[in-house]
Amino acid sequence: MVQHQHQHRGNKMKILLMVLLLITSLNNCSNEIVHGSVWDNFLTNPNKNAFHKLNPLVANVTEQCSQIYLPSDYQLKQLFNLVRQGNLFALRIGVLIFKCIGTGEQEDFFRSTGSFFEKEPKLFLMTIKNNAVDEQNLRYMVTMTPIDLVDDLDAQISVIKYRIDLLGKIKIKPAINETTTAVSTSLESRLQDFEKIKADQAK
């Protein structure tokens, strides 16, 4: 009789655990659907309202790098394309999540930020300052060139020179002096690297 009671309790515990696991699984699935739709809404209409709806999820990404809050690979490509086109809200989201994505995706992001800089240099500088991007990542953001120029050194040099000229034409506000100096240093250093490579190839 006692053995039967223990067995009955054991079965009840197993059923309870199975129910709890099912609830947890359904909750996670629901979260993924909700978060995915928030990303989709932002990527379809990357405006201020959509940004404010997505921002709380991005804050969770920053703290935990939780996969459940990150965009899918396809959504990342959409995000980077928006950055490349000069969308400020896409840049702000990208700056917040880039440390939580893979190395290859980071490179794609850095290439898109270089294009953003060419379109909206002042907005780029302000965004970098407001998000305290470290110098190493800032260097990548302003010096990486489009993927189709990887085998064209002269074209890469032209891009870096264009960005240097662009930076020189901006009326700099005191608030972004430090960021502007860091960008200038990064671009000049990259130009020297490229020109050294070109000189070595000519020998």
| Measured distance CA(104)–CA(135) in Å, rounded | 20
Q: Indicate whether 18 pLDDT > 80.
A: no
Distances 145 to 28, 48, 59, 125, 185 between C-alpha atoms, Å: 39, 28, 29, 18, 17
pLDDT for position 69: 76
Q: What is the pLDDT of residue 26?
A: 38
Give percent above pLDDT 90 in the chain: 59
Sequence length of the chain is 203
Measured on CA atoms in the order 170, 174, 179, 185, is the torsion positive or negative?
positive
pLDDT of residue 19: 42
pLDDT value for 16: 54
Cβ(125)–Cβ(179) below 8 Å: yes
Region 89-114 average pLDDT: 95
Q: Looking at residue 17, what is its pLDDT? A: 52
Amino acid in position 131 = N
187 close to 143: Cβ distance less than 8 angstroms: yes
pLDDT tens track for 165-195: 999 998 877 778 889 999 999 999 999 999 9
In angstroms, rounded to a whole number, what is the distance separating the alpha carbons of residues 99 and 137? 10
Structure confidence at residue 174 (pLDDT): 78
Residue 47, pLDDT above cutoff 70: yes
Per-residue confidence (pLDDT) for residue 188, from 0 to 100: 97
CB 127 within 8 A of CB 92: yes
User: How far apart are the C-alpha atoms of 14 and 22, rounded to whole Å?
Assistant: 12
Q: Which tokens is 74 given?
A: 């396809």
Structure tokens at 31: 């979260």
pLDDT band at 60 (very low <50, low <70, confident <90, very high): low
